[in-house]
Amino acid sequence: MADAGVTGVAVKLGELAAAEATALLRVDTEIRSLRRKLAYLQALVRGADRARRGRANELLLLWLRETREVAFEVEDAVDEFHLRVEAFHLSAKGRRGWWHGAAFNLVQGLATQIVVRHGLSHQIVKINERIDELNQNKETYAIESFPSETWNSSSIETDPEWYEDGYVEDSRESEFATLKDQIIDREKIVCHRAVISILGECGIGKKTLARKLYNDPDIMRNFEVHAWVCLPPHIRFTDYVESMYKQVSSEVPEAPEEVDKASLEPGNGETTSKERKLRQLMQNRRYLVVLDGLVEISDWNSLLDVLPDENNGSRILLTTRLSVKEINHMDPRIAPLELGCLETIHGQQLFCRQVFGAKKPPEIYKCKAYYDKVHNISTGLPLAIIVLAGVLRSKVIPTEWNDVLEQLETNGQPKPVGSIWSLAFDDLPHHLKSCFLYFASMSENIIVYPDRLVRLWIAEGFVVPKKGKTLEEVGFDYLKDLVSRGLVQVMDKDAGGRIKLVAIHNLLHAFLESEARDSGFLEIHHQANVLNPNAVRRLAVHNYVDSFVNIPNEFPKLRSLLCDFAEDQRSSSVYESLRPQTVWGSFAEMCLRACGSSDRAGLKTIHGLHFLQGSRFLRVIDLNGLKIQKLPDEIGRIIHLRYLGIRNSNLEELPSSISKLDNLQTLDVRRTNVTRVVDEFWEIEALRHVLAEKILLPDCRVSLNNLMTLDGAEPSNPWHDQICPLNYMLCLRSLSLSGISDTHTKALSAALRKMEFLVNLNLSGEVLPSTMFTDSSMRRLQVLILHGKLEDLDASKSDRYVMPNLTMLHLHKSELSQPFVDKLAVLPCIAEMELSYCSYSGATLVFPGRGFQSLRKLKLINLCALEELVVEPGAMPMLSVLAMHGCSSLKVLDGLNDLEHLQELALYNMDVLADTIKLDDKKLCDKIKCLTTPTKVDRGVVAGYWVRNLGRPAMTSPAAPELPCGDLERSGSVGRKATDDIEVHYSSGGAWTRLAQV
């Protein structure tokens, strides 16, 4: 894929040509000449890339390889130029005093410019000569390479819900009905723990069908416990158990003090202990567990042994590519359902839905010959139909549809289905090809948080600025384009309809891995055994077995390093807090350290990142799970660095040299012990996103107009009206701040009045300002999470709240009254609301008529004073889920039967009310999902341990690391709402968490 390489270099040349430094160095003419030559070369390369996938001759492949090498040489020359110029600016920045003043800088600057200009000019001349040689060789050896054809964009209007999946409704209705009957078993014929299997080839739609079943309201209500476990290759059995345990523990009431600490202790019994704990949680409960993607049966018996069989109608739903013969022994009493390719009529329905949305096709599109061709080419494979529809939906019929379909046939016979992936990739606009290829850097079978993905695209330079939009907004437009083409799947959306989780199908991932490797875009390894580290430009290392992998010491051409490792849970901060600190334990640890045997002191546990010394061009470092205790000082010399992500609990501090990274855009140190960074760091004007667990925010005085995300910050000093760091961060879109006291509220309130771009706001402290409800600056706010008492709430004379776009509201310990609820009821867009832990102080809670018109999910937690809940006529007409826990005094529920869309009523630790409903209200009783009765009364349950996950919240920070293989379909809440973290820390203030599957 030389096209993406040449495109990326052309963009860099454009940036260089526009830079002020280029004009000073007088190399503008050479650069513009090189850009023109690359533009012509790029047009030829696009056509050659298509030919490469066919029966291309050896000369064409050689020419493409040399073209790619030339593009890389241009990139090296540009980056070397920037490196030397920025190194000069950095050294000048550190000089102080009259002797090192302007005169000295001018003299040294002129000398530096002469040297750098000469070097860059010399390199450009040599590169131009190589391009001329390439063109000459093409003519001499008659290498055929035709410029790629372009199609005009169609003006077809599609349904705005183009990413909604209608696959099941259109094509698998009978299979869905059959499986649903088997799972629910209303006649109670099958009481044993049944294994219901969905078989079929890759891309046939097994996972989509299983997801539809898993999320079906009738099936939800039929089971107390739900878990979705992905079973990818190359993962430890302990990770399967850990994934299942986290989900089950989030649904089953369990006191924190009863957590089996032995399950977190190191040693041979670790797995056994966690398995035993999981069995204990699932005993005497009817459960549904989805095991998605079984490819080997070696761990099957072990997995089955973890799940108790108590003849209570529990179910295991299995999706696999294995044959009937291979899995028949799992439950011979239940016949597996084997999915086949779609029939023509069902394939046509799916195709039309993908192309036209919910609208009927225009008359010109009703030619049956097109649908017959589509079915013949796709062989009825749903994934192939969706991807082909993504290509055709932007083309004009009939001429361009004919051209596309002809490319997928040879002598009237369809090419292999893989040709559809190639065509869809070639059809992408040039700016999207690198973005799509970037999915190859992520492990197979994972879900991806789009915020992190977009930040990586920006750091790589893939996102082209567009007038009137931030880079992040442009990047999300890119992602939506990939989704609309069927190349990326939307796995979940937030309350406001924003894409929250995405994934890529395994077949497309395999294609991208091959394409990235063949084009030199990326190298992917499970170990760091790189054959030629001197030539690697992007490296992805995936290892879910080890938490330490030796990485070579030098990558002179490396631009990006993305690592995903098995994180050692024993080294996490959670484990440290639970680990018993006995005299013997301390003594044993001291002896191990003295002998060099401590698992935290050996050379094989803590990585030194020595490769940084020889990797000057790095732009992206993203390390997940790699054991690192301290970043080396050499990090400050990598002045190209734009993205630094270290997510592992071993990391304790950041070096002071990090303040030298003037181009740094993103710092991600979540799931670490980093609590402070040098004050000079907050002077980096390029900063866009800072994400941490609890990092101290100093009194910085530099305007950070590019900063959009500040997540996990805590004030380091009292604030005053004019001394508040937030006054210099007025362009924030997302703010998460904890540790707020009465010494901060006045200044915080004043700063919030100036933040007109805020979308997500999460505040936690003893006392919080309440002015955000009446400030017009909060008009863009969509997510509001408050932990703490609201200051002077009743002092406001305003008769309404100004939050027209608020979609999710979580309030904890806010001590609200009915007038506050009445004002909230008028807000037009609230879709999810949580009131917990003394957030409401009255005995009667009334949802006023015609109020909360958009509310779909409501959660009430430990409102101990609440005795009566009243829903007046016309209130909450869209409510589908109501969950209540620990409202021990609640005796009256009035008006719930009038809620037409209410699908689920979940009551926890409220036995008296549950018994009353069972006896007196059959209609309402049918909507109850489960009635969990804890073994103890008033166990002090925290939200993360009991909440059945009812839909995940919009992210309070756009932070987005992927979930590893073995993702949680429903995970417990994260205390600080860092909803994209893997490590789940159960603490008060649980979230709506329903994590979409891989």
Q: Residue 546's CB: how many other CB atoms inside 10 A?
A: 17
**215: exposed, middle or buried (Cβ count in 10 Å: 0-12, 13-18, 19+):** middle
Q: Provide the pLDDT for residue 933.
A: 41
Q: In this predicted model, what pLDDT tens digit does every residue of 422-446 receive, in sequence order?
A: 999 988 888 899 999 999 998 887 7
For residue 178, the SS3 value is: helix
- Domain C-terminal end among 775, 806, 837: 806
* DSSP code of residue 531: S
- Domain C-terminal end among 762, 779, 806: 806
Pair (385, 516) in one structural domain: yes
Is residue 798 one of the residues assigned to a domain? yes
CATH number for the domain that contains residue 559 = 3.80.10.10
- Domain C-terminal end among 766, 785, 806: 806
Is residue 164 one of the residues assigned to a domain? no
CA separation, residue 360 to residues 398, 682, 698 (Å): 18, 55, 59
Is residue 958 one of the residues assigned to a domain? no
Lowest mean pLDDT among 21-30, 459-468, 504-513, 614-623: 21-30
Q: In this predicted model, what pLDDT tens digit does every residue of 715-759 receive, in sequence order?
A: 988 998 778 999 999 999 999 999 999 999 999 999 999 999 999
Is residue 516 one of the residues assigned to a domain? yes
Q: Provide the pLDDT for residue 272.
A: 61
Pair (130, 242) in one structural domain: no
Is residue 42 one of the residues assigned to a domain? yes
Q: Are 707 and 687 in contact (CB under 8 A)?
A: yes
Pair (691, 792) in one structural domain: no
Q: In this predicted model, what pLDDT tens digit does every residue of 378-391 receive, in sequence order?
A: 999 999 999 999 99
Furthest CA-CA distance within the chain = 91
266/442 Cα distance (integer angstroms): 29
Q: Provide the pLDDT for residue 968.
A: 28
Pair (18, 74) in one structural domain: yes
Pair (819, 801) in one structural domain: no
* DSSP code of residue 64: H
Report the candidate in 473, 958, 459, 460 with the shortest Cα–Cα distance to residue 665.
459
Is residue 246 one of the residues assigned to a domain? yes
Domain of residue 365 covers 344-459+466-521
Average pLDDT of span 81-89? 73
Lowest mean pLDDT among 156-170, 275-289, 629-643: 156-170
Pair (843, 823) in one structural domain: yes
Q: How many domains does the chain have?
A: 6
CATH number for the domain that contains residue 185 = 3.40.50.300
Compute and round to an integer the Cα radius of gyration of the chain: 30
* Residue carrying structure tokens 């007409």: 877
Pair (417, 441) in one structural domain: yes
Q: In this predicted model, what pLDDT tens digit does every residue of 897-916 receive, in sequence order?
A: 889 888 888 887 787 888 88
Pair (688, 701) in one structural domain: no
Report the candidate in 281, 270, 261 with the shortest Cα–Cα distance to residue 575.
261
Element (H, E) at 715: strand 709-715
Pair (881, 751) in one structural domain: no
Of the chain, the percentage scoring pLDDT greater than 70 comes to 74
Pair (538, 659) in one structural domain: yes
Q: Provide the pLDDT for residue 268.
A: 41
Q: Which phi and psi angles does 732 have, rounded to 5°?
A: -60, 140
pLDDT of 946 higher than 60: no
Pair (183, 308) in one structural domain: yes
Pair (820, 702) in one structural domain: no
Cα dihedral 590, 595, 598, 600, rounded to 10, equals: 90
